[in-house]
Structure 1
Amino acid sequence: MQIRFTKMQGAGNDFVVLDETQGRLGLTPAHYRYLADRHFGVGADQILTVRRPTADATAQGIDFEYVIHNADGGEVEQCGNGSRCFARYVRDKGLTDKDTIRVQTLSGVIAPRLTPDGRVTVDMGRPVLEPARVPFDTTGLQPVAQGSGQKWPLTLDLPAQPATVLVAVVSMGNPHAVQLVEDVDTAPVAIWGPLVERHVRFPQRVNAGFMQVVSRSHVRLRVFERGTGETLACGTGACAAVAAGIRLGLLDNEVHVDMRGGRLTIAWTGQDTDTLYMTGPATTVFEGQIDIPDHL
């Protein structure tokens, strides 16, 4: 089957965007894996699909449905950098003339807004910090209190001998485990990342974040993403890291997050009742058409 696509990126986190507003393409997990493959397909960290909302959702003011598949073909709840690209795509393609849209995701409703400087600000909702809702199994664990937050011990099964790291657990619609490191450049992301991602205490697996605090308004971050591996940037990972840092008393309410693909700005009051905002770039790289085998 032949499929038209748009390749986009947000701070180096890259996506294949598909338009299903006129009808479903009928893709399987194997098709999504093929599209994401950097040798045989287009190549992407995630596949983003644009759909029209249901009649009930439209009546509630929802403009679009946003579906996300990781490079391993699995559907996931949320993608922050992708949400900015989603907003840029629907506006550039003439699917909406609004500056702010309401978008239904698997985990809830988000509201991306195009700003005059070309960036996109997204209302990412309220960070979830209760371990059971992340979800994270705390059975038998004793948290370490810091500020108004807490860090949890996590034992990693390393080849030489087990090691215990402290993680702050946060959900931004998808699960994150954030650990503090002295230097992100030397952090063992490739080794510890997959061990955290698939740790038995995270029943839905988890995105593993490694955060270096430079100042109260500036952090550096690397993220080993669930189902994808390390990416150049992770929007929800940046949101989760800043939320954790604010609660741990390490960060102010507006923070610049530098990742290998670029900078995002995260703003949150630290209050449970307030939503968190993410601002960053969203860029179209190229458009094309690909012939995908019907049966994979």
Structure 2
Amino acid sequence: MKARLMNGAGNRFILADLRDASIPVQIPAETVRSWARQHAFDQLLVLARSETADAYMRIWNADGDEVGACGNGTRAAAWALMEETGDKTASLDTMGGRLEGVRAGPLSVSVDMGPPRLDWQSIPLARPMDTVTLDYAAEADGIRIESPGAVNMGNPHAVFFIRDVESLPVAKLGREVELDPLFPEKVNVGFAQIYDAEHIRLRVWERGAGLTAACGTGACAALVAAHRRGLAARHASIMADGGELFVEWREHDNHVILTGPVEDEGEITLSL
């Protein structure tokens, strides 16, 4: 099976186009894990036929779990579709809902991630809690972090606000928080350092993928959580390990817009 290796701000994907398949292709979790070991990607993106959009996109994390949303992956898939059609827009149906991509430059795409989900049932959490500031803490190597904000951007996020993100044992803390019973579907864990109202440093531990160079839904969640806490404006530059993303939480329709770079690393062959 032919596929493309792509990345968005260093967040790596395999994009497989199976719109011509006569029946839906089933991809076992172990197959996804095997491909991840071979190609070191964060998510597998598979395009299938859609009656209502340019394609239906299914998303698997590197551990083989299927998930509902991937912001940078959506940007990469939208770019590939726009390259194919020559259009300036592309639509993708996903488990998390309809997503619309717009060309923002030769190798840049904006995607409308829709409105954030903010009530505790939608994160989801195991019990009622104020999602602006969760009554929750975690500790690793003697370092304690607490009171994250919680946001669902098609998948669940807990965002901790940190004075110096570079000094944290991010992997140990991320693994602990991801698997905490408070988060019944596990959770993506963001570690955000606020430089000023429009500049945020962010590292993300992705459920099922581990520490990632960038996370699109994580960047969206960080901006939303920071604004709700009075720490950021409604738009900001998010500095991830792999590059810069731009996020705007629009006031007029409550939608979150994610913009950033896309890179096509070339074609690969996968064995089903």
TM-score by length of 2: 0.93
Work out which of the residue numbers 261, 264, 271 in structure 2 matches 1:281.
Answer: 261
Other-structure match for 2:5: 7
Tell which structure's C-alpha radius of gyration is larger: 1
Is 1:47 equivalent to 2:38 in the alignment? Answer: no
Is 1:104 equivalent to 2:84 in the alignment? Answer: no
The residue correspondences of 1:192-211 to structure 2 (distance < 5 A) are: 192-211=173-192
Question: How far, CA to CA, are the matches of 1:164 and 1:224 in structure 2?
Answer: 14
1:26–1:129 distance in 2 versus 1, CA, 3 Å: closer
Helix, strand or coil at the partner of 2:270: strand
Other-structure match for 2:34: 34
Question: How far, CA to CA, are the matches of 2:141 and 2:202 in structure 1?
Answer: 25
Aligned residues: 270
Instruction: Give the conservation status (yes or no) of the 8 Å contact 1:211–1:222.
Output: yes
Other-structure match for 2:62: 71
Deviation at 1:6, TM superposition (A): 0.5
Instruction: Give the conservation status (yes or no) of the 8 Å contact 1:243–1:270.
Output: no
Question: How far, CA to CA, are the matches of 1:251 and 1:117 in structure 2?
Answer: 29
1:282–1:20 distance in 2 versus 1, CA, 3 Å: same
Question: How far, CA to CA, are the matches of 2:115 and 2:244 in structure 1?
Answer: 21
The residue correspondences of 1:263-282 to structure 2 (distance < 5 A) are: 263-269=244-250, 273-282=253-262
Is 1:151 equivalent to 2:139 in the alignment? Answer: no
Deviation at 1:165, TM superposition (A): 1.3
1:184–1:164 distance in 2 versus 1, CA, 3 Å: closer
Other-structure match for 2:159: 178
Question: How far, CA to CA, are the matches of 2:145 and 2:196 in structure 1?
Answer: 26
Matched letter for residue 88 of structure 1: W
Deviation at 1:91, TM superposition (A): 2.5
Deviation at 1:26, TM superposition (A): 3.1
Other-structure match for 1:82: 73
Work out which of the residue numbers 103, 106, 116 in structure 2 matches 1:114.
Answer: 103
Deviation at 1:164, TM superposition (A): 6.0
Instruction: Give the conservation status (yes or no) of the 8 Å contact 2:46–2:58.
Output: yes
Work out which of the residue numbers 208, 212, 215 in structure 2 matches 1:231.
Answer: 212
Instruction: Give the conservation status (yes or no) of the 8 Å contact 2:13–2:43.
Output: yes
Question: How far, CA to CA, are the matches of 2:269 and 2:189 in structure 1?
Answer: 34
Root-mean-square deviation (Å):
1.9
Work out which of the residue numbers 237, 240, 245 in structure 2 matches 1:259.
Answer: 240
Matched letter for residue 42 of structure 1: H
Instruction: Give the conservation status (yes or no) of the 8 Å contact 1:256–1:263.
Output: yes
Unpaired runs of at least 5, structure 1: 144-148
What is the aligned-residue identity percentage? Answer: 35
Other-structure match for 2:200: 219
1:164–1:281 distance in 2 versus 1, CA, 3 Å: closer
